[in-house]
Chains A and B, each alone.
Chain A
Amino acid sequence: LKVINCCVWDPSGEIFELKAELNSDKKEKKKEAVKKVIASMTVGKDVSALFPDVVNCMQTDNLELKKLVYLYLMNYAKSQPDMAIMAVNTFVKDCEDPNPLIRALAVRTMGCIRVDKITEYLCEPLRKCLKDEDPYVRKTAAVCVAKLHDINAQLVEDQGFLDTLKDLISDSNPMVVANAVAALSEIAESHPNSNLLDLNPQTINKLLTALNECTEWGQIFILDCLANYMPRDDRESQSICERVTPRLSHANSAVVLSAVKVLMKFMEMLPKDLDYYGTLLKKLAPPLVTLLSAEPELQYVALRNINLIVQKRPEILKHEMKVFFVKYNDPIYVKLEKLDIMIRLASQANIAQVLAELKEYATEVDVDFVRKAVRAIGRCAIKVEQSAERCVSTLLDLIQTKVNYVVQEAIVVIKDIFRKYPNKYESVIATLCENLDSLDEPEARAAMIWIVGEYAERIDNADELLESFLEGFHDESTQVQLQLLTAIVKLFLKKPTETQELVQQVLSLATQDSDNPDLRDRGYIYWRLLSTDPVAAKEVVLAEKPLISEETDLIEPTLLEELICHIGTLASVYHKPPSAFVEGSRVHLRIPHTRVSTRPHPHSPLKCCPAPHSALGPAIVQVSTRKVPVILLGSRLWTLSITSAMPASLGGAPAVGGGLGDLFDLGGGVGMPTGSYVAPKTAWLLAMKAKGLEISGTFARRGGIIQMDLSLTNKAMSVMTDFAIQFNRNSFGLAPAGPMQVLTPLSPNQTIDVSLPLSMSGPVMKMEPLNNLQVAVKNNIDVFYFSCQYPLSLLFVEDGKMDRQVFLATWKDIPNDNEAQFQIKDIHLNSDVASNKLQGSNIFTIAKRTVEGQDMLYQSVKLTNGIWVLAEMRIQTGNPNYTLSIKCRAPEVCQFVYQCYELVLKN
């Protein structure tokens, strides 16, 4: 029947023929037949029907044939699990073969057969092979544990293979060590909390010793593992660095890059004034430069990494500008990366050289590259002020070439230069206007229109120019339409007499003939502004624009920190954290810092968006964010908010400050259900340390919602905008539940109150002290860091009342070593009042006992992360000092719970 079956789908009879050959007596013929089977398998033909015949060839002493059969088995066992069992006996037998090659082959192949039923047969042979006398077998067995873990993790744990694997880290053979490290690292990924890879100074020492003897690939496993270690102090950090540094001259660039990763991470621990720190910096440059002599594919990866390193520590490569100059025969993806790094390294010292190069690139063939080169010239102008003039004249030269895309790119960057250096280079406007007709890309058109609108008073025929754009208004992209609308309004405000008709026309086009809500709403706002209060309109539309920042495309510092930990990996190539593209990836250990600085955490929701390239009229952009309420409430309120220069955010922001805001201020806790104690605001960030931004604040728990109440005061001379906040990971995973709502710009000497709801879903890291919180606040000027401490009562949940019986059992269950005693002095409350007061802060009294004039209150508290705290408070009549005993499975919180008691009882 089988033969007939074959014939049905095998018209050529190929399978039939192979079957006969596989069953031949001659070894050579068998071998050739298996080879043919594998060849068919590779090109995608289904040869699974031959499974039994191939498995029959398995019992042979010919190693070559055996390997071929195993190759076949690995491919088809999954689809034929029942038949795969047939092979098990041979596997088990092979695992005991006197030839180590066969033992290793068997254990390697068995692990690759991902059939559940087989795994149980695998355990015994694997156990033996892990202790085999031959290192080749041991190293294969080590990997097999990882394979088995992938199929059945529970089985691996139950069988105690993990411990055996840990022992292999101390193996005498470096290859075995390397594989054990690799296997453990992978298994540890899926058990984030396990202590599998228990890195301590002893194991680190073993690894460093193995490092010197390993194969190059083994060295990479070990270096990657080392990078996860957190040295205890700078001395240890230095000694590891010293032992890793020789890897920098390894011929395998992958080893070099892994070594760079370890060094970049551990350098953080070293004090900057240490001589060794400087030496290390110098040692890093040559290997990085050498990476660029490799194949283009490797160069690309190297450049993506260097891009990160240059942002983190520009000093390493500041003298190496020349190696990033583009070669004409570099592939385009290498060229673009090099260009990026050139701009990052550009400084006053080398700008002339850089500019000369960029000018050459601007005449190359590849369009993308040329565009980026032109853009780079603009970025140089913005970055290095001394070079601005030269950059502008270079750009003008390029505009003369009349190459369409060069001209457009140049206009886009010149607009940025105008923003950065107002009233300096406007003489070139005439040249720009000559090229109006050749602009066919929206970005370039929008940029040109912005320039015309912004400098309308200097361009005689500004109205004609804008009118010419208006003809095809409906065919333009939204970007251009918005820009045109704004530009014409600007023109009208500057030259009201001649342009009334034009502004009417554009407003009606925008409001009546467009179905784009952004455009329509912006049109309405202008319309209303202009009709109610032209003075206010002028103030809004022609407002002073904030300066644009120097480097617009820097990677956000928190992300950069994280990416530095991932140097050499895919994350460093994508410039994205691994969590963004790997399922279930583990959060990586962060860089240790010399001082515990207040770095915000990468995973919190904040996005530091630098001013986008095309944000041409920032004042306008902000107005439009409030468009809905404005239209609903009518113009009176609108004018009011404009004149007070601080429009209230009516759209539902938690709290606002100043005149109007008070009406809506719900954040004060007036109507809140529980009256938990809220400490007065204290100063967290001083104006002198934060370029004029002063922040004071406190924490509150209101009806189960945790809030951070902040007062932001602008003590600088200029307006602050674009506020955002983010937390470093902390002991209890506090994180902002949403972005900080500061919708209005903060003018000088103004204070705004904000309530930021917090969630407990952030990443966790134990802090010292436990309740320490490190915060980063960003505004348009800079990013500022501060740390503050929150009362632990913030984390006391509402359902923290424990059942009596449970309380009793738990109290007994917690060892006495965990009990801590405190004195609370000078409290003149009786026990009931105290109990009520504490209840307001979610400290619940479960039982009260009075013994010999002494009240004993038994109380329970539950923290947001599920930790229970049990307390006994003794109050002696007439004695103002209370005795508090606290028991908790996590004794480190006792101290902070006590502080909360004191705080609540005394206020």
Chain B
Amino acid sequence: MISQIFILSSKGDHLIYKDFRGEESKDSINVFYEMVTALSGDQPPIVMVNSGFLGDLMSGLHFIHARQDGLYWVASTKTNPSPFTIIEFLNRLAALTKDYCGSLSEKSVRMNFALIYELLDEMVDFGYIQTTSTDILKNFIQTEAVSSKPFSLFDLSNVGLFGAETQQSKVAPSVAASRPIMSSRGEQGGKNEIFVDVIARLSVVIGSKGVLMKADIQGEIRIKCFLPTCSEMRIGLNEELSIGKSQLKGYSSAVRVDECRFHQAVKLDEFDTFRILKVCPSQGEQTVMQYQLCDELPCAPPFQLFPSVEKDYVNRSVNLSMVLIFLKLRCDLPPKSTALNVSITVPVPKGSTSMSQELSSPDQTAELQPKNKALLWEIPRFPGGAQLSALFKVDVPGLSSASLLEVGPVSMSFELPKQTCTGLQIRFLRLSPTQTGLSQRWVRYVTHSDSYTIRI
């Protein structure tokens, strides 16, 4: 059972505090903040109050927290509940706050405290979680959101999806999706829009000889719905989509995933034969389908790296040595597509003092980060089929041959807009005919790197 819920800013300011069971005083907030900030680095999400902080006064109190958008979302408890449930709930709370307030920041939480208290009152009673569904909540919520930045048509400028520039005309602006779902009627914001995002996260490990060692794709179809009432929506996926490991492989045209999970509101009666998901979306954001594909990549990995690492002496007599790292990076996407915000991190030997580099174009940057023992190479845009190379000279005094072992593995992060690695596509998006009024439907695809590692 949840005893208290509070939301803190990154500096520890109290934004929201709600006590459900009267078991503990408000001091617990400060105890929590002291505990998470006392140690550096990432803290596990679950901590127990031990004596020493505020003594035995609060012994047996546990904090469970999640960090979202720079805020601490914290629940405390004195019993033995499921932390899993609570973290999941805190994440939902953050998502709902975002839905209701439009965006998630210290400011928007501060401005909408009355709304958030009202939400919390309906979502949790005496520490028992009641509901997190906007469909149910909308019957109860009275307070209106105060938008920190009133929505205006000017925001619908040409800012592209996920920062991409838009060559094709029909791409929804990324800011369009960040406004409160419950704006009052009559305001321009109450536009009937629905966004369907297909988001894939890619984890890849490529071995030292360019062999693909591990490839996992985790994906989801997410809906963000602004329709005040929505009747059934039909989402058609690729008809040739197959599910499960047992299916025949080598079927080149088939789009395959290992496993998928659906939101409980999704009706699947047409899924088996026609691959159609039927759902009545609630207002706000929800994940209708999650899927994953392990140990297989239907397309080539998006990046191949050809590294070479050498030791070089500037002056052998004084043992002034450096490591030469030559990286050739090829993007194996189709020529029309582009990877964005590509960054490459290469661990370097400890004791590296400085670095000089030769990059192929001026928009790229590279720097040595001695604190992380790594160098960071950033490429804002990387067109498919292109190949870029870079040479880094890292000065390492007193280099030994064993130090070369410390170079690598290379890790990369990037975004691939308009790409799905599995080939999963949305064929159509139909709202049932009874739907009145104009509604706009948007489908967006993006693939992110979750963890992309290349060993040297």
Q: Which listed residue (B16, B22, B136, B142) contacts A114, Cβ 8 A? A: B22
Once A328-B451, A573-B46, A585-B80 are accepted as A-B contacts, the answer to whether A297 and B292 lie under 8 Å apart by CB is: no
A108 touches B411 (CB 8 A): no
With a cutoff of 8 Å between Cβ atoms, the chain B residues found around residue A401 in the complex are: 402-403, 405-406
Residue count of chain B within 8 Å CB distance of chain A: 89
Q: Which listed residue (B84, B128, B133, B409) contacts A253, Cβ 8 A? A: B84
B261 touches A297 (CB 8 A): no
B451 touches A570 (CB 8 A): no
With a cutoff of 8 Å between Cβ atoms, the chain B residues found around residue A872 in the complex are: none
A301 touches B87 (CB 8 A): yes
Q: Which listed residue (A42, A68, A143, A568) contacts B125, Cβ 8 A? A: A143
With a cutoff of 8 Å between Cβ atoms, the chain A residues found around residue B372 in the complex are: 365
When C-beta atoms are compared, the residue in chain A nearest to B42 turns out to be A331
Binary CB contact string for chain A from 83 to 101 against chain B (1 if under 8 A, 0 otherwise):
0000000000000000001
Q: Which of A248-284 contact B (CB under 8 A)?
A: 249-254, 257-258
When C-beta atoms are compared, the residue in chain B nearest to A579 turns out to be B80
Q: Which listed residue (A328, A332, A400) contacts B402, Cβ 8 A? A: A400
B442 at interface, CB cutoff 8 A: no
B88 at interface, CB cutoff 8 A: yes
Give the distance in Å from the alpha carbon of A186 to the alpha carbon of B20 in the complex: 15
Q: Chain B's interface: helix, strand, loop or mixed, by majority?
A: mixed
User: Which stretch in A214-222, A411-419, A439-447, A524-532 binds the other chain?
Assistant: A214-222
Once A327-B451, A329-B451 are accepted as A-B contacts, the answer to whether A570 and B60 lie under 8 Å apart by CB is: no
A35 at interface, CB cutoff 8 A: yes
B41 at interface, CB cutoff 8 A: yes
A216 touches B294 (CB 8 A): no
With a cutoff of 8 Å between Cβ atoms, the chain B residues found around residue A289 in the complex are: 292, 294
Give the distance in Å from the alpha carbon of A67 to the alpha carbon of B117 in the complex: 9
With a cutoff of 8 Å between Cβ atoms, the chain B residues found around residue A293 in the complex are: 201, 218, 290, 292
With a cutoff of 8 Å between Cβ atoms, the chain A residues found around residue B118 in the complex are: 64, 67
With a cutoff of 8 Å between Cβ atoms, the chain B residues found around residue A305 in the complex are: 84
Binary CB contact string for chain A from 62 to 82 against chain B (1 if under 8 A, 0 otherwise):
011001100100110010000
Once A295-B66, A323-B294 are accepted as A-B contacts, the answer to whether A101 and B85 lie under 8 Å apart by CB is: no
A574 at interface, CB cutoff 8 A: yes
B129 at interface, CB cutoff 8 A: yes
Give the distance in Å from the alpha carbon of A332 to the alpha carbon of B142 in the complex: 43
A67 touches B87 (CB 8 A): no
Q: What's the minimum C-beta distance from A178 to chain B, rounded to whole angstroms?
A: 9
Binary CB contact string for chain B from 183 to 227 against chain A (1 if under 8 A, 0 otherwise):
000000000000000000101010000000010101000000000
B339 at interface, CB cutoff 8 A: no
With a cutoff of 8 Å between Cβ atoms, the chain A residues found around residue B65 in the complex are: 297
B450 touches A578 (CB 8 A): no
Give the distance in Å from the alpha carbon of A305 to the alpha carbon of B83 in the complex: 11
When C-beta atoms are compared, the residue in chain B nearest to A252 turns out to be B88
When C-beta atoms are compared, the residue in chain A nearest to B286 turns out to be A251
Give the distance in Å from the alpha carbon of A323 to the alpha carbon of B290 in the complex: 17
Binary CB contact string for chain B from 236 to 268 against chain A (1 if under 8 A, 0 otherwise):
000000000000000000000011011110000
Interface size of A as a range: 35 or more
Give the distance in Å from the alpha carbon of A47 to the alpha carbon of B91 in the complex: 31
Q: Which listed residue (B21, B80, B84, B263) contacts A150, Cβ 8 A? A: B21
B15 at interface, CB cutoff 8 A: yes
Q: What's the minimum C-beta distance from A103 to chain B, rounded to whole angstroms?
A: 13
Binary CB contact string for chain B from 394 to 416 against chain A (1 if under 8 A, 0 otherwise):
00000010110110110101000
Give the distance in Å from the alpha carbon of A217 to the alpha carbon of B62 in the complex: 21
A131 at interface, CB cutoff 8 A: no
Once A215-B133, A298-B87 are accepted as A-B contacts, the answer to whether A43 and B126 lie under 8 Å apart by CB is: no
Ranked nearest first, the 3 interchain pairs of A and B with the lowest CB-CB distance are A327-B451, A297-B45, A64-B142
Ordered by A's residue number, 27 sampled pairs between the chains whose C-beta atoms are within 8 Å are A38-B117, A44-B26, A112-B22, A143-B125, A215-B133, A251-B262, A251-B264, A251-B287, A252-B88, A258-B85, A289-B292, A297-B87, A298-B84, A300-B46, A301-B45, A328-B451, A329-B450, A329-B451, A363-B405, A363-B406, A363-B408, A365-B373, A566-B80, A568-B84, A568-B85, A569-B82, A582-B78
Given contacts A325-B205, A365-B372, A403-B350, 5 further A-B contacts (CB under 8 A): A64-B118, A108-B125, A143-B125, A301-B84, A570-B81
* B interface, CB within 8 angstroms of A: 1, 13-17, 19-22, 26, 41-46, 48, 60, 62, 65-66, 77-85, 87-89, 91, 113-114, 117-118, 121, 125-126, 128-133, 136, 139-140, 142-143, 201, 203, 205, 214, 216, 218, 258-259, 261-264, 287, 290, 292, 294-295, 345, 347, 350, 372-374, 400, 402-403, 405-406, 408-409, 411, 413, 450-451, 453, 455
